[in-house]
C-alpha cells in the first residue's frame, strides 16, 4: 500500500484487472450508498443519494459559488503558507548556522510547536478580525513551525564532509551556504512544506467554519445550518479534490527539484 502512489493504468487486460482489484471495494460502497439512499433506508438528511450530491455539486459550480469559495480558501491557505515558508526557512537555516539565533529560537520553537494552533483562532479573531487578513496571518503563524523545524534540522544534518570538500576546493565560508548547504538541505526543507500544506488547509477550514466569511469551510457549515446536506457533501468532495490536487502538485514539484535523490 502506498497512499501516495499514482495509479496510471495503461489499457490492457492485466492492468485493467489490477485496477478493478484496487478499487472494487470503493465501487461496492458507492453502489451500496446510492441504493440505500434511493431506497430510503437511511433518512435523506443523513445520507442523500450520490446522484443528488453530484447534482448539487454541479449546481454550485454552475452558479459560481463553488469556484468562488474554493478560491477564497485556497488564496488564504496558500498566501499564509508562502509567508510562513519564507520566514520559516530563514529562521530555520539561521538557527542551524548561528548559535545565538538558535539559543533564542529553540525554546520558542519547543513551546510553540505543541500548542494546538487551532486553539488560537479566537485570539486571532480578537486581534485581526474575521476577514481574509486574519485567516492569512493565522495560517502563516500556524505553518511557520513545521517549516522552521525541518529547515533547521535538515541544515544541521548536512554532512560535514560535503562542507569540507567544498572548502578544500576553494569555497569561502560565506559562499558555503548557497553552494552546498541549501542544496543539501533541500529534501528536508521540502518535507517541511509537505507537512505544512495540509495544516494550512486545516487552519483555513476551521477558521471559516467558526468565523464565516466565505470559503469552503463556511460553505460546508452553511449546509448544516440550512439543512441542506447535499451541500455539505458537495463541499467535502470539493475539499477532497483540492487536497488531492495540491498533494499531487507538491509531489511533482518535489520530484523535479529533487530529481537527484
Site for other proteins in 119-178 (CB under 8 A): 119-123, 125-127, 159, 161-162, 164-171
* CA 237 – CA 146 distance, rounded (Å): 27
Is residue 186 a contact residue for other proteins (CB under 8 A)?
yes
Helices 132-156 and 182-211, packing angle to 10 deg: 150
For 8, residues 6+ apart whose C-beta sits below 8 A from its C-beta are: none
Which of 123, 253 has the CB closer to other proteins?
A: 123
- 55, 75, 82, 184: which one binds other proteins (CB under 8 A): 184
| Region of 32-40, 59-67, 118-126, 148-156 interacting with other proteins (CB under 8 A) | 118-126
Residues 50-79 that bind other proteins (CB under 8 A): none
Query: How many C-beta atoms lie closer than 10 Å to residue 42's C-beta?
Result: 12
11 binds other proteins (CB under 8 A): no
By CB under 8 A, the residues from 204 to 233 that bind other proteins are 205-206, 209-210, 216-217, 220-221, 223-224, 229, 232-233
Interface pick for other proteins out of 36, 63, 86, 103 (rule CB under 8 A): 103
Residues 139, 78: Cα–Cα separation, whole Å: 9
State how far the Cα of 105 lies from the Cα of 116, in Å rounded to an integer: 19
CB 108 within 8 A of CB 188: no
Q: Among 9, 24, 32, 63, which residue interacts with other proteins (rule: CB under 8 A)?
A: 24
Could you say which of 14, 41, 100, 256 contacts other proteins (CB under 8 A)? 100
Helix (H) or strand (E) holding 82: helix 65-97
The footprint of other proteins on this chain (CB under 8 A) covers a number of residues equal to: 79
Does 44 bind other proteins (CB under 8 A)? Our answer is no
**Residue pointed to by grid coordinates 433506508:** 41
Using the minimum distance from each CB to other proteins, give the nearer residue, 123 or 252: 123
3-class secondary-structure state, position 131: coil
Amino acid at each position: 500500500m502506498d497512499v501516495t502512489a499514482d495509479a496510471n493504468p495503461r489499457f490492457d487486460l492485466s492492468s485493467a484487472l489490477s485496477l478493478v482489484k484496487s478499487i472494487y471495494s470503493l465501487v461496492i460502497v458507492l453502489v451500496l450508498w446510492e441504493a440505500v439512499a434511493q431506497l430510503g433506508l437511511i433518512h435523506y438528511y443523513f445520507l442523500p443519494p450520490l446522484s443528488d450530491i453530484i447534482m448539487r455539486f454541479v449546481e454550485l459550480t454552475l452558479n459560481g459559488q463553488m469556484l468562488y469559495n474554493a478560491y477564497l480558501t485556497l488564496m488564504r491557505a496558500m498566501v499564509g503558507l508562502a509567508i510562513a515558508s519564507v520566514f520559516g526557512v530563514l529562521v530555520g537555516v539561521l538557527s542551524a548556522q548561528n548559535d545565538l539565533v538558535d539559543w533564542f529560537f529553540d525554546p520558542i520553537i519547543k513551546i510553540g510547536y505543541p500548542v494546538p494552533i487551532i486553539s488560537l483562532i479566537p485570539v486571532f479573531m480578537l486581534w485581526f478580525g474575521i476577514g481574509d487578513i486574519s485567516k492569512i496571518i493565522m495560517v502563516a503563524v500556524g505553518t511557520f513551525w513545521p517549516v522552521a523545524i525541518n529547515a533547521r534540522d535538515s541544515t544541521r544534518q548536512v554532512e560535514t564532509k560535503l562542507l569540507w570538500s567544498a572548502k578544500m576546493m576553494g569555497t569561502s565560508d560565506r559562499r558555503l551556504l548557497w553552494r552546498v548547504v541549501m542544496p543539501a538541505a533541500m529534501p528536508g526543507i521540502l518535507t517541511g512544506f509537505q507537512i505544512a500544506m495540509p495544516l494550512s488547509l486545516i487552519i483555513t477550514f476551521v477558521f471559516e467554519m467558526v468565523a464565516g466569511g466565505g470559503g469552503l469551510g463556511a460553505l460546508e457549515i452553511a449546509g448544516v445550518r440550512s439543512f441542506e446536506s447535499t451541500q455539505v457533501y458537495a463541499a467535502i468532495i470539493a475539499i477532497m479534490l483540492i487536497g488531492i490536487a495540491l498533494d499531487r502538485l507538491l509531489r511533482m514539484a518535489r520530484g523535479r527539484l529533487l530529481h537527484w535523490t
